[in-house]
Each structure stands twice: as structure tokens, then as C-alpha cells.
């Protein structure tokens, strides 16, 4: 049974109270709650205007008309069939994958058009919970590039076989870490009860989206087998204080957005880097609980893929890679900067991290590491004594005499330390 209906029969779209939410409403709502106004405004403003593949009068509504301030999900039947097939392929464990398509402005709204769904193939999903492993995440990116190079990853889906539809705290962590753009959506499907609902960022918080539209591009009848349920994001302790230990993971996920100043890091090119940096700031404040560990793992996995491109040019060897700080970015002078990355070089006895002023020729050692590290903290860089300016960081493998291995291509990242007074004030 479904709640499909012709949206034109309801004439809802033209009613002022229930029209498609405006881009400005989305941006404003986001801005109020999120704090990093500039980045979200810029992200939304950067979306192109486009005509949807069919006029809204042709779309089939499932659930409630999308409310003000939320993106409008328009899903092709092709994508629906892919999701249905994958979600029913195994009822014993949670499955999932990526939603692919385009996001654009149409009239005064933001449309999230889902054109395809790409299952995440992973050997390590247990019956407990679906998440993206590093392998499944990179494979998704590869599959997308191979088969859907014209589509973007605009969200994710996963199943809750016979558990009902809701966003668990784990789902919040995954969404907060990997799907941070204001139009990123998540679909939860219960393939046993045939229920489903979309979730997304509404006013800076993860919330269930009341409904979505089906694009009947294959046949006029609906393909949706699901009842669209009124549901919730599990554990509404979002507003709890960080000292509420029980909920620290949720607080972390929630606060990932508001507290962070984009400008402190200069022009951020990667959301993953932003979140990763944020995590590291809060990771030292908050106890490392399981949920936080999950966030860390998810972030590191996402960061590995996204940031490899950013610092990949100057760090050609993936076995020697500084992922954070990001090359070409500005960081506050005087701060303690966490250096994250991978140091796993075959003949290395130790690893050395050096820094120098960009014009200088004298490298100075920051730290020496005695062990291999894969996707982890390599060192802390104390910049309190350093003047503002352009710097280079270098990660190299060394032998037992601390001589750099001649065979290696060291990773060198250029960045700027920005004087505190030069930084724009943020709330």
C-alpha cells in the first residue's frame, strides 16, 4: 500500500503555505541554526537553475508535501527499482548505498533529483548496522566515476529489516560525517514492513522529511511499495549539554556544524577536512566513546578518499601522506595543529615530520614517529612560537640513523599561518 497521489489533484503546490520551500528559506533556516552562514549560502547560491525533467504536475507525491525550509526530493522510478531490488536482496542484515543525481534550483526551491542508486558492496557489514567502510566508500566513488560520471552523490540509503524506519544515533553519525551539504538526504527503508522515509538537513538539524516525489519516467503507475511513515531522528537529546555523557556522540554530531568557523581555516575546499578538523578539536575534549569512534572512523574513511586528491599532488606516495592540515589553507598562528595522515613505508625505521618557512632552506624537526600509522594522528604541531607566514610541512621515512630514505618521495604540504588579529571575528 502506498500513499501515492497525483500532486496536481491536490493543487498543493500552488498554495502559498505549502509551496516548494524557497532556496532563501533553506539558506536562512540553515544559517540560523548552523552558524556557518557563508559556506551554506554560498553552496546553495552556487547551485544552477534548471528545469526538472517533467513539470511538478506530473510528479507522484508520497507522504506529505515537503515543508518550507527543506529540499524537495524527486526520485526517478529507475532509482526506486534499484533501491527496492537491493533492499530486498538480503533481509538478514542492513544494506545500503549511495543516491546519485543532481541538485539544482527550480523556481524558488531546491530540488534533489535522485536518478540512480548505487549499492555499497561491502564484506564487512554485519547484521548490526550499516555504515560505509573505507573500502566500500572508495569503491562507491570508483563505481560512480565508471558508470555514472555525470551524476553526483547526493545522499545515501540503507535498510532496517523489520526494525521500522527511524534515524538511529549511528545513522546521525554517518550522515553528519559523510553527507554534510544542506541538500544531502538519507533514505531509510524497512523492506520487511515495506515502510520508508527520507531524512535531511532542515534548519541545520537532521530531521525526517515528510514526503517526496516520484518521477514516473518509466510508467504512469507508482513503483513505490512503501508506506511513508511519520518518523523521527532517534534520541532527540540533541539539545543536551556536552556533559550529558550518554549523548555525547549525538551532541558531537549535531555540533559538528554550528561551532565551527569556516573562516578560521580559510577557504575550505573539502567538507571532510572541515569535519575531520572539527572532530580533532572536539575529540580531545570529549571522551572517546564508541559513537565517537564511529564518527572518527567514518570521517577518516571519507577524508582519505576526498583529501587524497587535495594533498595528493604534493604527496605522490599514498604510503606517506599528510591528510590534515590541508595544502593551500590558512590556519590560526599560535594554535596547536594536529597532523593526520598515513606513514607506512616498507623500509622505514622511523618517520620524521619537519617544517620550514616557505622561503627558507632550513628544515626543522617537529616530531619523530617510531611506528607505522595508517590514517591516524602523526604529530601535534605547536605553532605558538612561530610568526605568521607561509610554511611547508614534510613527512619522510628515515633509517636507523635518521637519514631520509633516498628511494622515497616525501610528502610536502604548503600552508599559511594567519595572525590572530587578521582573522575575521566569528560568533
Rule CB under 5 A: which residues touch Zn ion? 168, 171
Shortest Å, Cβ 131 to Zn ion: 9
Closer residue to Zn ion in complex, CB, 234/363: 234
Shortest Å, Cβ 27 to Zn ion: 28
DSSP 67: P
DSSP bridge pairs for 60: 6, 214
Shortest Å, Cβ 127 to Zn ion: 12
CA 377 to chain centre: 20
**For residue 334, how many other CB atoms are within 10 A of its CB?**
16
Shortest Å, Cβ 232 to Zn ion: 13
Q: Which residue is nearest to Zn ion (CB)?
A: 171
Alpha-carbon dihedral 401, 403, 405, 410, rounded to 10 degrees: 140
Closer residue to Zn ion in complex, CB, 28/168: 168
Closer residue to Zn ion in complex, CB, 171/195: 171
Alpha-carbon span 163 to 221, nearest angstrom: 28
Shortest Å, Cβ 123 to Zn ion: 19
Whether the Cβ atoms of residue 130 and residue 145 lie closer than 8 Å to each other: no
Alpha-carbon span 134 to 366, nearest angstrom: 29
3-state helix, strand, coil in the chain (%, to 5): 30, 30, 40
Closer residue to Zn ion in complex, CB, 222/227: 227
Shortest Å, Cβ 188 to Zn ion: 6
Closer residue to Zn ion in complex, CB, 196/340: 196
Alpha-carbon span 133 to 118, nearest angstrom: 15
Closer residue to Zn ion in complex, CB, 185/326: 185
Amino acid at each position: 500500500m502506498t500513499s501515492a497521489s497525483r500532486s496536481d489533484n491536490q493543487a498543493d503546490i500552488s498554495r502559498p503555505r505549502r509551496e516548494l520551500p524557497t532556496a532563501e528559506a533553506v539558506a536562512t533556516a540553515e544559517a540560523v541554526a548552523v552558524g556557518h552562514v557563508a559556506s551554506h549560502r554560498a553552496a546553495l547560491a552556487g547551485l544552477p537553475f534548471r528545469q526538472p525533467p517533467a513539470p511538478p504536475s506530473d510528479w507522484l507525491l508520497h507522504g506529505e508535501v515537503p515543508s518550507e525550509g527543506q529540499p524537495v526530493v524527486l526520485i526517478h522510478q529507475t532509482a526506486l527499482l534499484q533501491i527496492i531490488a537491493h533492499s530486498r536482496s538480503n533481509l538478514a542484515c542492513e544494506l545500503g548505498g549511495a543516491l546519485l543525481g543532481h541538485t539544482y534550483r527550480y523556481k524558488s526551491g531546491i530540488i534533489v533529483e535522485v536518478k540512480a542508486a548505487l549499492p555499497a558492496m561491502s564484506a564487512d557489514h554485519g547484521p548490526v548496522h550499516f555504515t560505509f567502510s573505507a573500502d566500500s566508500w572508495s569503491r562507491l566513488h570508483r563505481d560512480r566515476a565508471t558508470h555514472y560520471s555525470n551524476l553526483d552523490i547526493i545522499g545515501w540509503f540503507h535498510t532496517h529489516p523489520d526494525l521500522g524506519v527511524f534515524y538511529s544515533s549511528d545513522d546521525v553519525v554517518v550522515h553528519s560525517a559523510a553527507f554534510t551539504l544542506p541538500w544531502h538526504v538519507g533514505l531509510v527503508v524497512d523492506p520487511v514492513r515495506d515502510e520508508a522515509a527520507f531524512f535531511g538537513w532542515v534548519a541545520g538539524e537532521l530531521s525526517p522529511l515528510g514526503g517526496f516525489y516520484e518521477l514516473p519516467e518509466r510508467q504512469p503507475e507508482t513503483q513505490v511499495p512503501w508506506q511513508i511513515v511519520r518518523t523521527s531522528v532517534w534520541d532527540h537529546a540533541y539539545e543536551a549539554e556536552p556533559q550529558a555523557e550518554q549523548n555525547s556522540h549525538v551532541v558531537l554530531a549535531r555540533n559538528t556544524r554550528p561551532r565551527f568557523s569556516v573562516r578560521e581555516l580559510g577557504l575550505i575546499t573539502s567538507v571532510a577536512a572541515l569535519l575531520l578538523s572539527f572532530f580533532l578539536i572536539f575529540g580531545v575534549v570529549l571522551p572517546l566513546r564508541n559513537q565517537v569512534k564511529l564518527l572518527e572512523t567514518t570521517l577518516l574513511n571519507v577524508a582519505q578518499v576526498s583529501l587524497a586528491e587535495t594533498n595528493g599532488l604534493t604527496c605522490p606516495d599514498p604510503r606517506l601522506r599528510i591528510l590534515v592540515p590541508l595544502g593551500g589553507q590558512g590556519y590560526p598562528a599560535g594554535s596547536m595543529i594536529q597532523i593526520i595522515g598515513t606513514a607506512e613505508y616498507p623500509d622505514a625505521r622511523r618517520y620524521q615530520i619537519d617544517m620550514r618557512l616557505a622561503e627558507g632552506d632550513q628544515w626543522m624537526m617537529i616530531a619523530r614517529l617510531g611506528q607505522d600509522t595508517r590514517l591516524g594522528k602523526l604529530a601535534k604541531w605547536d605553532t605558538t612560537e612561530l610568526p605568521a607566514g607561509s610554511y611547508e610541512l614534510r613527512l619522510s621515512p628515515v633509517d636507523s640513523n635518521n637519514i631520509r630514505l633516498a628511494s622515497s618521495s616525501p610528502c610536502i604540504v604548503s600552508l599559511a599561518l594567519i595572525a590572530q588579529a587578521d582573522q575575521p571575528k566569528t560568533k
